[in-house]
Structure 1
Amino acid sequence: MAELTPENWRRVDAYFTDTLVGHDETLEHAVADQDAAGLPAIEVAPVAGKLIHLLARISGARRVLEIGTLGGYSTIWLARGVPDDGLVTTIEAEPANAAIARASIDRAGVGHKVEIRIGRGEDVLPTLTGPFDLVFIDADKESNALYLDWAARLGHPGTVVVVDNTARGGDVADPAVTTAQIEGVRRGLAMLGADPRFDATALQTLDRKGWDGVAIAVLTEVVEGFDDVGEP
């Protein structure tokens, strides 16, 4: 058995990417454009992009909500996963990021399936009308519980909810780490475990982005009584 090292897990990730995802000039162009504009390199890895794409297809999603557009890389994956008359609504706080994303999304040929709402999630989410069939949460981690609450409000029983970046290099399980981001991830995970609206699990991931994780949930019912920090 190979030793678990960054070099080896990145080799496996490259093998999975080459074998199961392949190279896509449109997606690679989207990443290149966001890099050239100085956006942080925090888009999902190709294997994770393919995962959310497949989840959209498996769930039969027609309406998708994405919280955190960045340069549009994950948005393109999601838009490719919905039918031609489907719609991905994606929220981006920074207008400059949204402009880069719009150009990449249009170039990918899925612009007619994507609407970008510019503004902070906490401000935009109350203006949306559901239901959404899949919700992908990949924005500021401090607000994960707030975003999960809105995912439940805007979803329906059977809605798939995906939360990215849930392991944070192992820090999520280290009680000595109490940064705002890590505490936000913990609140979100605690909410997924305690809130009866969700049935969830989480997996650690090792890919080109490093050691992290993803939580996947299904919305089971619509109930009131849980606040935005996941406590009754």
Structure 2
Amino acid sequence: MPSWNIHIAHVEATLRSVGDPSALGIGDQNAFLFGNFVPDINVGYMVKNPDRRIEYRVTHFADPGFMPEPHYWEFWERYALPSADANGRVSDATLGAWCHLVADNRYNHAVNALLLRRGLKPGEDTRIRKQGDFDLFGRTLRIGMTCEPTPNLVRQAAEFPQYAIDVRDARAAVEVANQIVRNNWVNHFDGDPVYRLLSSDFFSTVFDEVQNVIGEGLLAYARQGAVAPELRRERAHA
């Protein structure tokens, strides 16, 4: 399961891919970054004791399990698309939430496929090895983008189309994310990481795949608005 340092790295890579974020339909980069944390906020793992706890199966459109594969296309169909304005635009936080679900889906699907190829079964030992590998990969990433609880961010959190996010939880999420960025600098891992289950090639391949799916979707959104079929394209999943 990708942690927030991995999600932040994807945001930075996405923004680097264009000279102007508006080319991807992004208006407020800060709110877009925040949106990449949104699906996790009310689950209660990253933000402790949120105002309203919501089950993972609701926030991520997938049954919780060893490696759930969120249905990001379902999120777009049920909540993002109906929230679009007259110009076919959704909030930047909504765009970010879609990106989060894309990343979770692709990473988790890749892990499930790898386990199937190797004939490995989910279990406590596999879970520990997998999570340790994700933690180590996250530490290899150089990230620096931080978030600010601006009035626009707070407003977009409150107006998130699936469920309202309390202002206190929005601010707490911002602080957690910013602390992760600081920790990544302090605990950054240089050199060649030694993974226990996955590999450097695995992470490189999936990182690029996630970027391709996100880039394709956002470019289509910038051209066509929320009706762009790329945002609702269902991919192989468990």
TM-score interval, smaller chain: under 0.3
- Name the structure, 1 or 2, with higher relative contact order (CA <8 Å, separation 6+): 2
TM-score of the superposed pair, with normalisation by structure 2:
0.26
Greater fraction of residues in helix: 2
TM-score for both structures, normalised by structure 1: 0.26
Q: Please state which structure has a larger fraction of its residues in strand.
A: 1
